[in-house]
Amino acid sequence: MKDLIIIKEGKARLKVPNPSKYLRMDGVYEPAWAPVFYNPQMILNRDLSVIALATIIKHVFSSRETVVLDALAGTGVRAIRYCIEVPDTTLCMANDVDPRAAELIKENAAINNIQNKVKVFCEDANILMYKLKREKCKVDFIDIDPFGSPAPYVRASLWCVRSGGVVTYTATDTAPLSGSRWWAGTRRYDANIVKTDIGHEVGLRVLLGYIARRAAEIDKYVIPLLTYYDRYYYRVYVQVIKSAKRAYDMVKRNIGYLEYCPNCCYRNLVNEIERVSCPNCGVKLHLIGPLWVNSTSSKEFISHTLECVRGYEYEYLQSIEDIRKLLEKLLPEIEAPLVYNIVRISQKLKVNIPKREEIIKCLRELGFKAVAAHFQGNYVRTNASIEEVTYCLRSLTSSRS
């Protein structure tokens, strides 16, 4: 393959397509145009994946030997980095349907002297995962990182991973999931999605709910370990366990709907549809879902991952500080289920937009949990209702008058 350059990412050295050869008219590198996919903008995603796998092996798998599958490997960067940077990784299977990618993965494994730890496949990802299941290959950790939606790979990955194993999904189709292109999201994720003022919250919960419902179909249930949004993608880590009874309980307790009022900005997460009209203003509610209605991450897992980040083992990572900041934002969010867009609500109330920190302080003084959501912008996560949020907005505005 022509026009390759050698780069370093983490502790790995890799041959990748030369970005200067695949530029758009605006001068930005377009990874989808390259003969083998490699996206340099996803380094935080991959760096955090390395740390997360190390944490999973230590605290979820109890330091057992681990078999990893990178189902859509491209250059093989994830599989190779897992083998080099994560202790106790026994074997990394790297798969890509493109023969050019498969050959490049072999070259990259040789460059890093880990040919004995990287097994390369050139197969459709779903076919490979069903084959591995049929052959009773115990896969502990599966990384699904497509260019676009992970939906086509969810069912096969849930089948393939061993009971107690972990699957992680990247979704770059944030517009369909968040409601900006609701017609595509509704079709793709089997859920009613509409445009709201908290699109990324909706997107993460719809994605997690979709994964959980597909797991329940095959008598498995999922435990969310880590769920987050970064720049232009969603990332979800779930532990998958076989149990028909617990799968039923998961659906009953964790799958439901978001009640959302487009008029007064009321919202609530419910397991069952309780009303069709807003209890505040009487306007017809948007019922968004099915989606995941409870905690989207594990407090214990994030705490363990933060311990790993704050140590010295991974201080060499390019995005280590950004990862630390992200996890520190995610940790307190777990106890605050509802997200409010302060700008949108202020506009509805026709009041000046206060600082997010002032709203958080006001809600805490009222006795509620309140933190800045990790999304960009003026989002507050809290267990307060719209009435308390409205009270704080009005009181802060009136105090300045």
pLDDT of residue 351: 93
Alpha-carbon distance 272 to 288, whole Å? 12
User: Buried b vs exposed e over 32-47: b needs ≥16 C-beta within 10 Å?
Assistant: eebebbbbeebbbbbb
Q: Do residues 150 and 128 touch, judged by C-beta distance below 8 A? A: no
Q: Do residues 103 and 97 touch, judged by C-beta distance below 8 A? A: no
Q: Do residues 202 and 288 touch, judged by C-beta distance below 8 A? A: yes
Domains of the chain: 4-253 (3.40.50.150), 336-401 (3.30.56.70)
Helices (H), 88-198: 99-111, 125-134, 151-160, 174-178, 182-189
Q: What pLDDT, in 10s, does the model give residues 159-204?
A: 999 999 999 999 999 999 999 999 999 999 999 999 999 999 999 9
Q: What pLDDT, in 10s, does the model give residues 219-277?
A: 999 999 999 999 999 999 999 999 999 999 999 999 999 999 999 999 999 999 989 99
Lowest average pLDDT, out of 2-16, 20-34, 250-264, 320-334, goes to 20-34
Mean pLDDT throughout 293-298?
A: 98
CA atoms within 13 A on the CB side of 77: 24
Q: Do residues 245 and 251 touch, judged by C-beta distance below 8 A? A: no
pLDDT of residue 1: 72
Alpha-carbon distance 101 to 103, whole Å? 5
Alpha-carbon distance 387 to 393, whole Å? 10
Alpha-carbon distance 363 to 396, whole Å? 11
**pLDDT at 63 > cutoff 80:** no
